[in-house]
Structure 1
Amino acid sequence: MNHFPQAWGRPTNDVYGAYDQSYLQTSAPHTHTQSPAVTGTSVIAVKFNGGVAIAADNLASYGSLARFTDIKRLRPFDNNAVVGFGGDVSDMQYIDRLLTSLDIKEDYSTYGHSLNAQNLHTYLSKVMYKRRSDFNPLWNNILVAGFDGEGQPFLSSVDLLGNTYSAPSLATGFGAHLAIPILRRLFPEEQPLEQVKEEHAVDALKQCLKVLFYRDARSTDRYSIAVVKEDGVVIKEDERLEKQSWAFAEGIRGYGRTTE
């Protein structure tokens, strides 16, 4: 049996001759994918006294279809940093392979040094800028959480163009519009970092995830959350927002049975 698709449903060559494949030839230039297919939405993070908390839901959407519900978009690196990915899932997997290779290389290094979060962010910013310069960008917005070379909490982002930005609280995707106002209200920039406690930061992220679940059509109530402190990374990948229900919508005028 001929398993090539171009031969399906046609007689053998001795009847009509060899299959004409000239239509497969093209002089068009080589192109790259410019439209992500399967994407993840927001990643949110906030600094606290002694570390950084970062969270992302576990949904990967195929367009508007909630296609994959168990995609982990937080990746720990060397137990001292966490990388959160928003955007294209296939590009996220490519970057994950790069980070795995880098981690192995660092583990076998004879210099005895390990990369901190600031080093990792610099590396990723160069990767993203190089791919952008090749007109073949990686369609991701990345948050890097951990510690810098001086042992201070570090949180910064890099986008598909290689642009970088640092702040006490950051978010990607729709979270930049919905979660950042909440985090800035709870943790004003003029507030000293020493006054922000770990439990307050984690509760704030859960509050933001709840808002995103209700207001971002590409979000879900299952999420991953990680806390980076000096003694390592604690990550929980199969959490679920409690008591989330659309029952309140029954009382909204024009929805369901409520017509008055």
Structure 2
Amino acid sequence: MNCMDSKQPETGLLGPESDSQRTLYPYVTGTSVVALKYKDGILMAADMGGSYGSTLRYKSVERMKPIGKHSLLGASGEISDFQEILRYLDELILYDNMWDDGNSLGPKEVHNYLTRVMYNRRNKFNPLWNSLVLGGVKNGQTYLGMVSMIGVNFEDNHVATGFGNHLARPILRQEWHENLSFEEGVKLLEKCMRVLLYRDRSAVNKLQIAKITEEGVTISQPYSLKTHWEFSAFQNPTQGAVGSW
């Protein structure tokens, strides 16, 4: 028998790992997360839409979760990758608690961990398809940062992901100040979320606002914003646009 007749498994140029492609193309995604510091802690807002391609398939997706005692995480992007990140963080918090030494991971440590995870997966060309917002309060110090799917990260007094980075940040730069009360912070976040609802096709009018202080995390029940769609630009959005349909 000719040895050439025997079938050999084809592993390809990249080896057997090339057969496993996870979230190289995101399927169910969430849109913007917006967060800011206020005088007592951190406020964060996200809607509850989950888009299957360009279709708003799910309208009750929670994209903000408490992490340990001192941190709050919000995510835009692929929902299944967000669930994988939450699994990583559950293991991290459990390992930290097992030491039982009276210390616990603060928001800065959790944010640093997430930057390493995202950058590591990016270097493997198998990224976690998310942009993450991590805020928290520990020992009276508020912390707010974000990290992108390729590991780009920074801290600021207010952050946003997705369309919010283009449409909400200008509002926050103009109106945010360090002595914001809880009511003022909520009102400012609602203004940002209303603009995103008008301008982002992936946004849905069902949102949650979460706060984290020294006392812990509180996430609101879902609610809707009052909207006004009678603006002339909404009635005929392509009027005056050259070459439009």
In 1: Cα distance, 2:202 partner to 2:123 partner: 30
- What CA distance in whole angstroms lies between the structure 2 residues aligned with 1:51 and 1:85? 19
The residue type paired with residue 252 of structure 1 is Q
Q: Compared with structure 1, are the counterparts of its residues 254 and 206 closer, same or farther at alpha carbon in structure 2 (3 Å cutoff)?
A: closer
Does the 8 A contact of 1:158 with 1:164 survive in 2? Answer: yes
Pairing 1:133–2:123 present: yes
Aligned to 1:258: none
State the partner residue of 2:37: 47
Q: Structure 2: how far apart are the matches of 1:244 and 1:208?
A: 13
How many residues matched? 227
SS of the residue 1:238 aligns to: coil
Q: Aligned match of 1:236 in 220, 234, 239?
A: 220
| Unpaired segments ≥5 residues, structure 1 | 1-21, 256-260
Residue identity (%): 37
Instruction: Report SS of the residue matched to 1:217.
Output: coil
Question: Is residue 145 from structure 1 mapped to residue 135 from structure 2 by the alignment?
Answer: yes
Q: Secondary structure at the match of 1:67?
A: strand
- Is the Cα–Cα contact under 8 Å of residues 69 and 104 in structure 2 kept in the other structure? no
Corresponding residue number in structure 2 for 1:223? 207
Q: Is 1:123–2:107 an aligned residue pair?
A: no
Q: What is residue 246 of structure 1 aligned with on the other side?
A: 229
| 1:182 is the counterpart of 2:171 | yes
Instruction: In structure 1, give the amino acid aligned to 2:124.
Output: D
Shift of 1:153: 1.0
Higher alpha-carbon Rg: 1
1:75 to 41, 44, 65: 65
Rounded Cα–Cα distance in structure 1 between residues aligned with 2:98 and 2:229: 51
* RMSD (Å) for aligned C-alpha atoms: 2.3
Unaligned runs of 5+ in 2: 1-6, 239-245
The change in CA–CA distance for 1:88 and 1:250 in structure 2 (over 3 A counts) is closer
Is contact 2:75–2:132 with CA below 8 Å preserved after alignment? yes
Cα distance change, pair 231–157 in 1 and its aligned pair in 2 (3 A): same
Q: What is the match of residue 209 of structure 1?
A: 193
User: Secondary structure at 1:66's aligned position in 2?
Assistant: strand
Asked whether 1:27 is paired with 2:12, we answer: yes
For 1:170 and 1:237, locate their aligned partners in 2 and report how far apart those are by CA, in whole Å: 22
Alpha carbons of 1:95 and 1:253: their partners in 2 closer, same or farther (altered >3 Å)?
Answer: closer
- C-alpha distance in structure 2 between counterparts of 1:143 and 1:125, whole Å: 11
Determine if contact 2:43/2:212 at 8 Å carries over to the other structure: yes
State the shift of 1:237 in Å. Answer: 4.0
SS of the aligned residue for 1:120 comes to helix
1:160 aligns with 2:149: yes
1:131-160 Cα shifts (integer Å, max 9, x gaps): 112111111100001125x53111000111
User: What is the rounded CA distance, in whole Å, between the counterparts of 1:28 and 1:65 in structure 2?
Assistant: 36
Q: Aligned-pair distance for 1:102?
A: 2.1
SS in structure 2 of the partner of residue 136 of structure 1: coil
Q: Rate the CA distance shift 1:107–1:239 in 2: closer, same or farther, 3 A.
A: farther
Structure 1 runs (4+) deviating above 3 angstroms are: 28-31, 245-255
